[in-house]
Amino acid sequence: MRAAITGGAGFLGSHLCELLLEKDWEVLCLDNLVTGSDSNVAHLLPHPKFRFAHQDVSRYIEVPGPLDVVLHFASPASPPDYLKYPIQTLKVGALGTHNSLGLAMAKKARYLLASTSECYGDPQVSPQPESYWGHVNPVGPRGVYDESKRYAEALTMAYHRYHGVDTRIVRIFNTYGPRMRLNDGRALPNFLYQALVGEPITVYGDGKQTRSFCYVSDLLAGIYKLLESNEHEPTNIGNPQEITILEFAERVRKLVGAKTPIVFHPLPQDDPKQRCPDITKARRILNWEPKVSLEEGLQRTYEYFREKLAQSAP
Ligand code: UDP
């Protein structure tokens, strides 16, 4: 099997490259390194079945040779990142999806779109099943990500229905684990970094908003099962264990043994009040559910961050 992974040097993309190499696939990693990092795939470069190409997939994608699978994972995905790169975020969701779908069609390859729980916006239904159409502010600051992914889903379904491309759509909920950037700006990297260096832990709003955190290996196992399935409609993959952000901050502080205080900052605009996947469908059609507890996943991520910080220390 030969796969192209857009965003292959990102947090999820690099784990996906590894997973497919372990399954003896040939992997072509495409990334423009706007939010991804070559250090995430540096250890894979000597692998005979791995190749890295510096490419912006919002422009025409050039891939010589046959392909069995195209996996579209390229996009800024942390709220501060897509606020910093709003146009690139819209372009990679729209043009990048169009180009990668075109690539899959030309190569007669299977296609998987990395979509997001952000398609549900600030949901008025909880937990969120795939049948929920969402509650998104198209012109708010998060709209650049939410709408580009909603468009990407529509385009993927159109290529499936009108061109017969063999597509899959995964709606990814909050995921964490090694290779998140220390300065990525999401809740867990912020909290871990702050606790480790002794800065105050910044909780936005009153911290009563909820999220549900899935460990990266669980997410990847679900995505691989979806790829192997025949399901074309969007499928939620995430961990349904819901926790308030304040409780999450307290758990991180306790894990690190930090004495630093928790401070409250203003809630960003349109920040979803709750997010929890309904994974009934994934359980039923993929026989998948997450296995790694929050305690275990946090411990592994903590160890990664501690090591990274030690490496970057002067
Ligand atoms: N958050 C926070 N402090 C931070 C970073 C994030 O309280 O330093 C909150 C954020 O407002 C949101 C939740 O944590 O309610 C999860 O944010 P994240 O950026 O991880 O991703 P999101 O789920 O919003 O896409």
Rounded to the nearest 10°, the torsion over CA 276, 191, 85, 205 is 60
User: Ligand 1 center to residue 60 CA distance, Å?
Assistant: 34
Q: Is the CB of 245 under 6 A from ligand 1?
A: yes
Question: If DSSP codes are grouped into helix, strand and coil, which group holds residue 269?
Answer: coil
Among 149, 199, 271, 298, say which to mutate for ligand 1: greatest number of ligand atoms within 8 Å of CB. 271
Among 145, 186, 263, say which to mutate for ligand 1: greatest number of ligand atoms within 8 Å of CB. 186
Could you tell me which residues come within 8 angstroms of residue 8 by beta carbon, excluding any fewer than 6 positions away? 14, 16, 17, 27, 28, 29, 30, 31, 36, 41, 52, 73
User: Ligand 1 center to residue 187 CA distance, Å?
Assistant: 4
The catalytically annotated residue of 111, 145, 159, 302 is: 145
Amino acid at 196: L
| CATH 3.90.25.10 intervals, the chain | 177-211+241-276+292-312
The pLDDT profile of the chain, 314 residues, written as one tens digit per residue, is 999 999 999 999 999 999 999 999 999 999 999 999 999 999 999 999 999 999 999 999 999 999 999 999 999 999 999 999 999 999 999 999 999 999 999 999 999 999 999 999 999 999 999 999 999 999 999 999 999 999 999 999 999 999 999 999 999 999 999 999 998 999 999 999 999 999 999 999 999 999 999 999 999 999 999 999 999 999 999 999 999 999 999 999 999 999 999 999 999 999 999 999 999 999 999 999 999 999 999 999 999 999 999 988 76
Amino acid at 251: R
- Which pLDDT does position 80 carry in this prediction? 94
Closest C-alpha residue for ligand 1 atom 1: 187
Burial label for 79, CB within 10 Å (0-12, 13-18, 19+), is: buried
In angstroms, rounded to a whole number, what is the distance separating the alpha carbons of residues 12 and 154? 22
Rounded to the nearest 10°, the torsion over CA 237, 242, 247, 251 is -50
| CATH 3.40.50.720 intervals, the chain | 2-175+215-237
- Which pLDDT does position 198 carry in this prediction? 95
CATH level 2 (architecture), domain 2-175+215-237: 3-Layer(aba) Sandwich (3.40)
Instruction: Answer whether 13's CB lies under 8 Å from 31's CB.
Output: yes
**Closest residue by Cα to residue 289 from 231, 233, 212, 178:** 212
User: Ligand 1 center to residue 88 CA distance, Å?
Assistant: 21
Burial 249-267 (b: 16+ CB within 10 A, else e): bbebbebbebeeebeeeeb
Closest C-alpha residue for ligand 1 atom 14: 187
User: Ligand 1 center to residue 211 CA distance, Å?
Assistant: 8
The CATH number of 177-211+241-276+292-312, from 3.40.640.10, 3.90.25.10, 3.90.850.10, 3.40.50.1950, is 3.90.25.10
Could you tell me which residues come within 8 angstroms of residue 31 by beta carbon, excluding any fewer than 6 positions away? 6, 7, 8, 9, 10, 13, 38, 52, 53, 54, 55, 74
Q: Count CA atoms closer than 13 A to 22's CA, side-chain side.
A: 9
- Which pLDDT does position 312 carry in this prediction? 83
60 is known as an active-site residue:
no
- Which pLDDT does position 134 carry in this prediction? 98
> What ranges make up the beta strands (E) of the chain?
2-6, 26-31, 50-54, 69-72, 110-116, 167-172, 175-176, 201-204, 210-212, 214-215, 235-237, 242-244, 262-265
- Which pLDDT does position 314 carry in this prediction? 66
